[in-house]
Amino acid sequence: MAEQMVTTYGMSKVLGPLAYEKGAQNNFLGDGGMMNPRRMVSDETAKAIDDEVKEIVETAHQKALNILKSNRDLLEKIAQQILETEVIEGEELQNLLNQVQSVDKVLTAV
């Protein structure tokens, strides 16, 4: 998904709003559908794409870890409740979800 963000939709701070997958759509009997969609770009551009994709994935991973760490007590509470009752739904679920600290709150609290 991160690679598509960069190569298909041009969602890149470094490379700008450009699509790099144009050649992949015209693959007719090429190499059995296994063609690298970035084959038509330079090695330097391919590396820049890889670096940008890596940055997106690492940033999202760190954000997820921060959310989990800051909501650890709530996560434990929910896990314990699921072990006891097997189900959390409706208003009870919404009340628990309303207690989650968002990414913005996590980052400003640090």
Averaged pLDDT of the chain: 80
Task: Single out the residue of 56, 38, 49, 80 nearest to residue 2, CA to CA.
Answer: 56
Q: How far apart are CA 1 and CA 60, in angstroms?
A: 12
CA 79, 98, 73, 66 torsion-angle sign: positive
On the question of pLDDT at 110 being above 60, the answer is no
Residue 40, pLDDT score: 75
In this prediction, residues 4-14 reach a mean pLDDT of 83
Per-residue pLDDT tens for 41-86?
888 888 998 999 999 999 999 999 999 999 999 999 999 999 999 9
Q: In angstroms, how far is CA 62 from the centroid of its own chain?
A: 10
